[in-house]
Structures are given as C-alpha cells and as structure tokens.
Amino acid sequence: MRPVPVMTRKSRIMCFLGVDIGGTSVRSLVTDASGKILGYQRIARVSCESLWQAINDCLGAVLAQSSVVHVEAAVVGAAGAGPTGNHDVCQSVEKAFRAVGLDVTPQVVTDIEIAYWSAAVLGDGSILVAGTGAIAGRFSEWRCVDRRDGAGWLLGDHGSGYWIGRKALRAAAADLDRRGPSTTITRGVVEALGLPRGCTVQGLIGKTKELRPADVASFAQIVLSAQDDKIASIILADAASELVTTVKSVGAEHVILAGGLLAPNTSHNHQRPNTLRAMMEDSLGECPYASHPVVGACWAAGRLRGVELHKVDLMNALEVRSDSRRR
C-alpha cells in the first residue's frame, strides 16, 4: 500500500492535477499556480481491465513525488471518454481518485480535448489524433463542437496505427504465401513476432491469433521504418490520404497533430523524419504537434479556478525531461 504523503508547506499551496489516459500508458502532471512542475509520472497500461489500477499507480506515484495531498482542481483526458465509453472510464477514474485519497471531483474529458488545449494558440481550430486509433475534432472557443472517426478498429480508425499495422501483417502474409509481392516489411514482422527466418504463413497465423489492437498498431513502426520499400510507401500514402480526409471533413483550419503516429520524428533515437507526417503536411501545410497532451489537462484544471498556466513553459520543461531520459 502506498504510504500517505506527509503534509508539508509545499502540499498546502494551490496545486493542479492533469491526467492523460492513453491506449498504452497513463501520464499525470502536478503544478503549482505559478506553473512550476511539482511532479510528473508515466505508467504503462497492461490491459483495459487494469485501467483503474494504472490510474491509481500513476496518481500515487505523482502525489508521492510532489508531496501533494490536495489539489484545487483536476482534469482527466481519456481515450474512450466519448459518449459510448464515458461511464466505464469515469468509474475507473473516480475509483482511483478515492483510492489515493484525493477529495477533488475530477472533470473527465476526451483525449482530443486535452491534446488540442495543450498546443493550440487560438480557441478555434481543429486537431487530428492518430495513435492506435484515429479521430479528428473541430473546436470553437476551446470547446469541441464536432468530430470525425474515432469509431474503433472494426468500424473506423482510418489511417491509424492499427490500420497501418493490419496492412503490414497482411502484406507479410501475402509475401510468405507467395501470392503477393516481396517486401522488407515481412522481415520486420517475422522478427517482431519471434518467428524463425524461412517460416511459412502458417507460422504467422499462429502468432497473430491473439494480438490485441495495440499489438497490431505496433507494427506500424515497421512500415514507417521501411525506407525505399514500394509496399510500405503505398501503405503510408493510403494512410495519409485517409487521415487528411478525416480532418478535412471536420474542417481543416489551424490544424494540430497529435498521437504517436504523427510525431515529428520516428525510430528509437528520434532522428528519422516521419514520412507519414510529411505526406500529410504536403496537403495540410505545416502543423504544430501536441507532444504532451497532459499539459492541456493541467492547463484546463487551472482555468477551472481562474488560473492561466503558461502552456509553452510547461511543454518546454517536459521536453527537457524527455531529452534527458533519452540520453
């Protein structure tokens, strides 16, 4: 059981909490009213069933790190907090807040809202989020007034990580089955699944039967890394077209990009330009990237109490932390 933090002078100042619940991780950020970061944590999500536990662990860690026992306001942004999944997400959030002893009622919003708030300069504009899934939203006076896609892997998520990952697996299967063209994607898929070289399509079938949507989405990185591969280029061009169609259908004005699939750079050392993003910007023009949506959650929490946190300073501070960890 997490020890209860000792009440200190720091814990009695006005503090705000932002939480970002993504498909693969939970991030939490605590700041004071001046915008100083008191704590930041990231916890990996193992499964949908363990959502509340991941939130609980992340909150417990950030409260212990910051020595905070009370926050003035809290905003939680969550993938799946839309109309169809809001009840389950809210229950998990409320359960986790009670478990760590927070007496504030968090405001639960969608992941596209906190992503937009984190990077937008204007209250009117649009955002495209592409990670495991894909969704676009249009904002007016900081409120999301319309959205497109976000329909899940079965009905939508066009151009998403799952969409690309499934294309990669199908390309590898066609290659191994000798009914499709040879592609370097196959080698990446085979290695990622731990299959031996020279395996058959039957081996691929056996390894992919139990893959979750997030697992399938992870194969998108193989496509992004397959330079000069014809099949990979076709998949990425199609994905870019799908994503551009989604954001244009909601109104592509002052577009912000968000989600791991659209980060400015790819690969483990973050040195390779993102081909998919470049293809999209050929149509949309240069777009800012929401690298830390949790900042938008914290910013919104401050606004609930009339405090305007400086988003750029918070983003820069988190970038410094990220850079130091990558080294």
CATH number belonging to domain 10-121+290-326? 3.30.420.40
Which residue type occupies 132?
Answer: T
Average pLDDT value over all residues in the chain: 89
pLDDT digits (tens, 9 = 90+) for 224-253: 999 899 999 999 999 999 999 999 999 888
Same fold, 10-121+290-326 and 152-253: yes
pLDDT digits (tens, 9 = 90+) for 117-156: 999 999 999 999 999 899 999 999 999 999 999 998 999 9
pLDDT digits (tens, 9 = 90+) for 3-61: 444 444 444 589 999 999 987 789 999 999 999 999 999 998 766 667 888 999 999 99
The neighbouring-strand residues paired with 41 are 28
- Asked whether residue 1 carries a pLDDT value surpassing 50, the answer given is no
- Give the distance from CA 98 to its chain's centroid: 25
Query: Per the structure block, which two tokens stand in for 291?
Result: 């690298």
Do 261 and 229 touch, CB atoms closer than 8 A?
no
On whether the pTM is more than 0.85, the answer is yes
Domains in the chain: boundaries = 10-121+290-326, 152-253
Has domain 152-253 been given CATH number 3.30.420.40? yes
